[in-house]
Amino acid sequence: MPDPRRYRPSRPPSTFAVQLGRATGTGNRRTIVDELRRVILSGDAAPGATIPLDEIASLFGVSPIPVRESLKTLVGEGLVDHEPRGGYTVARITVAELNELYVVRGVLERAALSSALPLATAADDDEAREAHDELGDAVLRQDPRAYHRASRRFHLALVAPSGMLRLQGMLESAWNITEPYRPMAFLTDADRAGLHDDHRPMLDAFLARDADTLLSAAAEHHDELSRVVAALPPDPERFRG
């Protein structure tokens, strides 16, 4: 188990140290990859944040080598940047790339939805309903963090029955790269509520196994989502130029 007591920093611990101090498990490579990915996807470490290799190695009780190998895996996933002699940082993308990824997410999702409907079960219906309810609760509580989490759950619930594992993997990969930016946190409560209004016809069409209506509702939702994300003011501290 990673033990934060093993590390005695001379300065305040990094965001990664604070978050990894809550991790459980052994310091094997799979655990290190999973925990680093968890911190990045949680949005706790902003794009561009330094990833302190030695500090993380101390927390896991390992040498820097398995941490470095784990970070290379996350570089391949697009979640981490590496500069020779410059260390590792949470990956940054351009504003244009963020907008492009939202378009990609919409295209991949709609490609899976048609295949998902004929295969959906009552259990899939329950998962979609629960995710939708969780989203509504996040809107009522004005909780952007919970909204991000529930939105991802809802959208993936609709495509999960498709069984198209490669396509779903590409969709999750595109989603992962956008996660550290947390764009929904920069919207107004009214904008988030408006986007959530789009989810109701999507859920109803999914439950009714109405492919045409579902695809139309999904397209409208993603068009609106892309519009509000594109309208967000760019933050030069978070985006790559």
Query: What digits encode the pLDDT tens for the residues 43-62?
Result: 888 899 999 999 999 888 89
Between strands 87-90 and 50-51, the pairing is antiparallel
Given a cut of 60, whether residue 9 has pLDDT beyond it is no
**Which stretches within the chain are classed as H helix?**
15-20, 29-42, 53-60, 64-76, 95-116, 122-140, 144-159, 165-178, 189-208, 211-230
d(C-alpha 139, C-alpha 99), whole Å: 23
What pLDDT is attached to residue 224? 94
Residues 45, 19 contacting (CB under 8 angstroms): yes
Question: Structural domains in the chain?
Answer: 4-90 (1.10.10.10), 95-230 (1.20.120.530)
Over pLDDT 90: what percentage of the chain?
Answer: 73
Query: What digits encode the pLDDT tens for the residues 145-198?
Result: 999 999 999 999 999 999 999 999 999 999 999 999 988 888 999 999 999 999
**Mean model confidence pLDDT for the chain:** 90
Q: What is the pTM of this model?
A: 0.87
Confidence of residue 86 (pLDDT cuts 50, 70, 90): confident
What pLDDT is attached to residue 27? 75
